[in-house]
């Protein structure tokens, strides 16, 4: 009686383990990607990763699902009852202050629901249907991340997600196919399981990589249009950059400088060194009340957008030779300020400052920028997204002698606006007089004050302790250390006590130059305050009384950060903001690069060809003039001949020489083989070739000429007898036969 076939478990253990790990990684990547956007509430940032970590521990211990399918279903249904409360109360409070609170609250509530369902299903999945649903929820989480952020970090997460997604669905399909199989299971940890895991991992990586490459090619080739730079919806409220509004209290800039967040990136046309020591101007403040700087309701002017897309600004005229032109491009991060950051004395700006300007076409010309009386440029259409604009500024480069001769005749409007002072500690004015006692001109007084702060005060961000009722006096006469707005305030106030019109300006320092991306990285820590003093006939001149901070040492991490920042900028510029204009630029760059490479290759070839020809002519001339050239050539040819055919020729000559001494005796087998090969070569010259499959006798009988076949057969017999017979033949007979065959071949007609 036959035994029934053995049925094994429907799941292969190695495949099951691989699938569980892959599915867990898929869910973990999707949840961590959503959390890493930084746009969720604190509960959503902490609880999902904690639940993932606990599930990882359970997986490592080989534990199964913690929640039953029925309990998981009831938990999700109960959350639907909580969803309206989350939407109208919890998420609405979190979204307060966003550009669109209702939309942001709806998105947050939906993400909360998705994360809850994802974690519940992770703790309860048992069937293939549960696993597919869990993978779909992970994909939904990645879509939510794409809505929340367009950062380059999302690209890295997406690449890992694609690899793991392919791996997960391949493992799921193998697992489903294994159900009901009668093949023995592959044990986890066995060599077969390791080979399977390696094959599945490589397959997933290659499939995901191919998808990224093909998708990237399609992305760059299909014509694209955009509604404006970085026009993705920004739902989260922008971070407030205090210090760039109409009111600034002493100490606010110091709080900003403690952040290392990137504020903007600036690329300079031409030599990047031309932007060194440039201050990126944000807003100028005119009135000081002893603790706070402010600007009264500004008397603004409108700068309308020209049909060519440019905004033009008036600037104090300077004579040729007293200025240099700086052209630069700014990529400004979303900030809660209307200020457009520019170098001093901007004359032209080009950019997209209104929402959907490219989509509006000719109607976009109605958008405008505002310029107040201090020369600050403001954007009334704050869009809460990144801004990219190009600008041209006229940077003063006035010789000190001219500024010393500028005089002290100030226009009434300048004196009225820029000599205002609150009640001050009398020591402040006395100190200003003392520091500038030997300075005859306003320029020398300003330079003396700047030098005084550089040499007698310290720079610090740590201002612990109460500043007192008069923070300026406390800074000048007690602390004698502070950060930039204290120095700028002190110098501005002291200049005004001397009758020199001046104002405080808030903005940013030049930033850190990134030699990888060829741009300046300006961070929040570069926030700065400085002084502008007025000189008749020349306008406002910049002075910076703040002592320079200690320069940061460069290490491998800073170099890596340059590459990462370059990657982020490239991602933003060529992926997020990729449009038809970028396509044209890309193909122009490709064409230009290919032409350059072609010209370089042709130039390299011509240089090397001329060098080779010159070398050959020189060598030929040296050889022709040398008395050793002909003997040397002969020696070289003989040496090459010996190297190529030396062993064969040596063996033949040795055999022929040995044969002379065996002419009257028996024929050695080695000599018989040499003579037989010599006969075959003579026959080959006449077109009779011995096939490898033929025996010596078959070849001899197959010769078409009977006259030659007879001596060939006899010589073959002697050869066989010498090599394999019991007695050696006569050498003289073989020599005679070889000579006879040679004569017959010469007289025979060639085939």
580 vs 586: CA distance, rounded Å:
10
pLDDT at residue 5 in the model: 39
At residue 651 the predicted structure's pLDDT band, cuts being 50, 70 and 90, is: low
Mean residue pLDDT of the chain comes to: 80
pLDDT at residue 28 in the model: 93
Angle among Cα 673, 674, 675 to the nearest 5 degrees reads: 90
Most confident of 293-302, 408-417, 567-576: 408-417
At residue 495 the predicted structure's pLDDT band, cuts being 50, 70 and 90, is: very high
Choice between 666 and 458, residue whose per-residue pLDDT is larger: 458
Distances (CA, A) of 469 to 275, 292, 381, 515: 40, 12, 39, 46
pLDDT at residue 654 in the model: 60
> Three-state SS for 628?
coil
Average pLDDT (591-604) is 80
Least confident of 110-119, 225-234, 451-460: 225-234
pLDDT at residue 155 in the model: 76
pLDDT at residue 328 in the model: 95
- 430 exposed, middle or buried (CB, 10 Å; 0-12, 13-18, 19+)? exposed
Compute how many other C-beta atoms are within 10 angstroms of the C-beta atom of residue 385: 20
pLDDT surpassing 80 at residue 582:
no
pLDDT at residue 558 in the model: 64
pLDDT at residue 2 in the model: 41
Least confident of 163-167, 602-606, 631-635: 631-635
> Does pTM top 0.85 for this prediction?
no
Residue written as tokens 């003063």? 396
pLDDT at residue 473 in the model: 92
Average pLDDT (643-668) is 60
pLDDT surpassing 60 at residue 240:
no
Average pLDDT (707-734) is 78
Question: What residues have CB less than 8 Å from 476, skipping those under 6 apart?
Answer: 427, 428, 431, 490
Helix (H) or strand (E) holding 625: helix 580-625
> Three-state SS for 285?
strand
Tokens of 258: 């403690």
Least confident of 61-65, 292-296, 653-657, 664-668: 653-657
Residue written as tokens 């050869």? 719
Work out whether the CA dihedral 698, 699, 702, 705 comes out positive or negative: negative
Average pLDDT (525-547) is 93
pLDDT at residue 9 in the model: 39
pLDDT at residue 400 in the model: 94
DSSP state of 476: I
At residue 508 the predicted structure's pLDDT band, cuts being 50, 70 and 90, is: very high
Question: What residues have CB less than 8 Å from 374, skipping those under 6 apart?
Answer: 283, 284, 285, 286, 295, 298, 503
């Amino acid at each position: 009686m036959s035994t029934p076939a053995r049925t094994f478990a429907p799941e292969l253990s190695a495949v099951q383990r691989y699938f569980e790990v892959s599915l867990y990684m898929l869910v973990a990547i999707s949840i961590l990607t959503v959390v890493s956007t930084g746009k969720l509430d604190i509960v959503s940032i902490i609880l999902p990763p904690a639940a993932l970590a606990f599930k990882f521990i359970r997986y490592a211990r080989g534990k199964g699902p913690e929640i039953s399918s029925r309990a998981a279903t009831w938990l999700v249904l109960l959350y639907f009852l909580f969803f309206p409360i989350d939407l109208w109360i919890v998420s609405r409070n979190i979204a307060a202050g966003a550009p669109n609170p209702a939309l942001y609250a709806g998105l947050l509530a939906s993400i909360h629901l998705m994360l809850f369902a994802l974690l519940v299903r992770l703790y309860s999945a048992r069937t293939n249907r549960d696993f597919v649903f869990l993978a779909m929820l992970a994909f939904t989480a990645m879509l939510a991340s794409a809505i929340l952020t367009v950062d380059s970090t999302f690209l890295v997460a997406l690449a890992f997600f694609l690899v793991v997604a392919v791996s997960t669905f391949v493992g799921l399909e193998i697992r489903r196919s294994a159900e009901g199989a009668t093949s023995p299971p592959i044990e986890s940890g066995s060599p077969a399981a390791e080979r399977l895991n390696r094959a599945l991992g490589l397959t997933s990586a290659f499939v995901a990589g191919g998808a990224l490459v093909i998708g990237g090619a399609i992305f760059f080739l299909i014509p694209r249009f955009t509604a404006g730079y970085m026009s993705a919806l920004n739902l989260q409220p922008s971070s407030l950059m205090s210090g760039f509004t109409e009111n600034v209290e002493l100490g606010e800039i110091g709080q900003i400088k403690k952040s290392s967040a990137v504020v903007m990136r600036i690329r300079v046309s031409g030599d990047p060194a031309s932007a060194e020591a440039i201050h990126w101007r944000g807003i100028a403040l005119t009135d000081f009340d002893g603790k706070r700087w402010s600007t009264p309701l500004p008397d603004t002017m409108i700068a309308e957008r020209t049909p060519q897309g440019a905004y033009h600004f008036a600037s104090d005229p300077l004579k040729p030779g007293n200025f240099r032109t700086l052209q630069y491009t700014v990529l400004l991060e979303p900030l809660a300020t209307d200020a457009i950051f520019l170098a001093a004395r901007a004359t032209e700006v080009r950019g997209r400052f209104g929402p959907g300007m490219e989509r509006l076409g000719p109607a976009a010309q109605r958008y405008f920028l505002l310029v107040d009386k201090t020369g600050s440029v403001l954007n009334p259409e704050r869009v809460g997204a990144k801004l990219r604009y190009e600008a041209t500024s006229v940077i003063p480069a006035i010789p000190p002698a001219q500024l010393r001769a500028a005089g002290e005749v100030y226009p009434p409007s300048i004196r009225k606006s820029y000599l205002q002072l609150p009640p001050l500690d009398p020591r402040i004015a006395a100190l200003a007089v003392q520091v500038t006692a030997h300075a005859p001109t306003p320029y020398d007084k300003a330079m003396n004050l700047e030098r005084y702060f550089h040499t007698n005060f310290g720079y610090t961000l740590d201002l612990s302790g109460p500043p007192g009722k008069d923070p300026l006096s406390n800074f000048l006469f007690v602390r004698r250390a502070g950060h930039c707005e204290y120095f700028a305030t002190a110098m501005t106030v002291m200049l005004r006590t001397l009758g020199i019109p001046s104002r405080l300006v808030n903005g940013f320092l030049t930033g850190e130059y990134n030699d990888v991306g060829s741009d300046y990285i300006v961070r929040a820590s570069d926030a700065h305050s400085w002084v502008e003093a007025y000189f008749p006939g020349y306008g406002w001149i910049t002075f910076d009384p703040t002592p320079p901070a200690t320069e940061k040492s460069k290490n491998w991490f800073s170099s890596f950060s340059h590459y990462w920042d370059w990657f982020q900028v490239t991602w933003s510029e060529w992926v997020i903001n990729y449009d038809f204009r970028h396509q044209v630029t890309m193909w122009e760059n490709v064409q230009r690069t290919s032409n350059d490479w072609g010209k370089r290759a042709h130039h390299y070839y011509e240089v090397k060809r001329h060098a080779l020809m010159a070398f050959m002519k020189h060598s030929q001339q040296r050889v022709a003039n040398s008395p050793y050239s002909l003997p040397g050539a002969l020696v070289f040819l003989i040496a090459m001949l010996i190297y190529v055919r030396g062993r064969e020729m040596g063996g033949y000559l040795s055999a022929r020489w040995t044969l002379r001494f065996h002419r009257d005796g028996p024929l050695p087998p080695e000599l018989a083989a040499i003579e037989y090969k010599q006969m075959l070569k003579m026959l080959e010259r006449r077109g009779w070739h011995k096939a490898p499959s033929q025996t010596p006798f078959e070849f001899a009988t197959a010769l078409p000429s009977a006259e030659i076949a007879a001596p060939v057969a006899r010589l073959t017999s002697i050869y066989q007898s010498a090599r394999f017979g019991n007695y050696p033949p006569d050498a003289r007979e073989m020599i005679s036969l070889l000579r006879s065959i040679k004569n017959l071949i010469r007289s025979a007609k060639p085939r």
